[in-house]
Amino acid sequence: MFRSALRWALSLTLCVSLCSTAAAYTIVMRDGRRIEIPDRFVVTATALTYEAGPGIQVTVLLSSIDIEATERANGEPAGSLLHRARSSGSSTSKVAQRAAKTLTNEEIDRARRARGQAPIERSEAQLSDVERENEAEARRLLAEAERRDQERAQQEAYWRERARALREQIAAIDGELSYWIELLNGLPALPSGIIGSVTTVVGVPLIPLFPVVGGAVTPPRPSMPRFATGPAIAPAPPSPPRAIIPQAPSLTPISPVLGAPLIRFPAHRIIVPTFISVVAPFNQSFYYDRASIIARIQQLEAMRAALTAQWRVLEDEARRAGVPPGALR
């Protein structure tokens, strides 16, 4: 009983293996791989097509198949695979002629839209959770980079506008300074006109400060104070009067102040040297114009120094804010 059951199992296994062998066809690829396909396949001049499943057609190029090794693996004579290609070509043409059908444009458009949407839906369905997370992270990083680039552009535009305003003010002041300096250099060192001096002689009447006796000036004698000491002394008797003898006028009177002789002329006049300046007419606004120009130049230089200090402060603020050095240019 046991032996009969064993023989039945062995025969069943052999029958199944023979049936599976008969129902399969082995394709040997040029890289050495072996592919088992159903025995029913179609061979054309360039490819081999078989049905891997319901509605699934697989096409393999003949250029990638080792034809001789395939024929040997399936126990077929040489050239049998290409012979199948010629026979299947005639049969497929007949089948194609029988199955011909005319399609409308609407059906073609509908099929095209369905074929275009199918890969997208299939790819989205096949994405794993990790891939979805990676894609979301990539989108988030891209949005963050775009936001940072926009903020950086706005920041650089702000600093560039401030630097442009300062440069315009400095350029305007430099231009005005150049104008006033050039105008000042064009003015003469002295005002236009002639300056000279003339020494003349003027007669001044001689006014005597002291009485003149005999043509000479007699200064008064200071009186000495008297002190009452001892018995009183009778004053001396007055001297007898003297006759005043007229004398010729003296030509060399003595100065009562300097003690130097003065030149005496008739009519009681002396010669006094006098210094007189003679100035020709000139532009009265010369000094005013030169002073106003110098004051304006000093004012512009002070404004230029203040703007230069503001520029240095601006560069320091931009550097602390992380702005590239070339953004202020």
Confidence of residue 224 (pLDDT cuts 50, 70, 90): very low
Amino acid 125: pLDDT: 58
Q: Which two tokens stand for residue 181?
A: 């300096």
199: phi > 0 → left, psi -120 to 50 → alpha, else beta; which? Answer: beta
Q: pLDDT band at 38, cuts 50/70/90?
A: confident
Q: What is the mean pLDDT of the segment spanning 207-211? A: 45
pLDDT band, residue 102 (cuts 50/70/90):
low
In this prediction the pTM is 0.33
- Which carries the bigger pLDDT value, residue 4 or residue 184? 184
The bridge status of strand 24-28 relative to strand 56-61 is unpaired
Q: What is the pLDDT of residue 308?
A: 92
Q: Which pLDDT does position 129 carry in this prediction?
A: 72
Q: Categorize the per-residue pLDDT at 124 as very low, low, confident or very high, splitting at 50, 70 and 90.
A: low
Q: What is the mean pLDDT of residues 204-224?
A: 47
CB 287 within 8 A of CB 193: no
* Single-letter residue type at 96: A
CB crowding 11-33: b at 16 or more within 10 Å, else e? eeeeeeeeeeeeeebebbeeeee
Residue scoring higher pLDDT (22 or 309): 309
Which residue in the block uniquely carries the two structure tokens 């023979």? 18
Neighbour tally for 81: CB within 10 Å: 20
Structure-token match 């409308």, residue found: 104
Buried-state track 93-113, b at ≥16 Cβ within 10 A, e below 16: eeeeeeeeeeeeeeeeeeeee
Longest dimension (CA), the chain: 215
pLDDT at res. 324 = 78
Token pair 């590239």 is found at 324
Query: Given this model, what pLDDT does residue 255 score?
Result: 47
Least confident of 34-43, 92-101, 105-114: 92-101
Is it the case that residue 327 has pLDDT exceeding 50? yes
Q: What does the pLDDT average to over 195-221?
A: 46
Q: What is the pLDDT of residue 232?
A: 45
**Type of residue at 243:** A
Residue 24's pLDDT is what?
81
Record the tokens describing residue 306, joined without a space.
């203040």
Residue 205 pLDDT > 70: no
Confidence at 173, pLDDT banded by 50, 70, 90: very high
Per-residue pLDDT at 110 = 76
Is the model's pLDDT at 94 over the cut of 60? Answer: no
Nearest CA to 301 out of 293, 291, 312, 290 is that of 293
Contacts of 195 (CB under 8 A, 6+ apart): 277, 278, 279, 280
Looking at the predicted structure, is the pLDDT value of residue 127 above 70?
A: no
For 60, list phi and psi in degrees, rounded to 5: -120, 130
Contact 183, 293 (CB under 8 A): yes
> Which own/partner pairs from 321-325 qualify as long-range (CB within 8 Å, at least 24 positions apart)?
321/155, 321/159, 323/155, 323/156, 323/159, 324/156
Backbone angles phi, psi at 58, to 5 degrees: -115, 130
Mean pLDDT, the chain, integer:
69
For position 45, what pLDDT does the model report?
79
pLDDT of residue 318: 86
- What average pLDDT score do residues 320-328 get? 79
Distance from C-alpha of 278 to C-alpha of 228, rounded to nearest angstrom = 65
Strands in 239-326 per DSSP E = 269-279
Most confidently predicted of 126-140, 236-250, 272-286: 126-140
pLDDT recorded at residue 21: 43
Task: Give the pLDDT band (50/70/90) at residue 217.
Answer: very low
Is the pLDDT confidence value at 215 over 60?
Answer: no
What is the per-residue pLDDT for 119? 57
The residues with which 29 forms a beta bridge, in sequence order, are 65
Range in 94-98, 99-103, 302-306 with the lowest mean pLDDT? 94-98
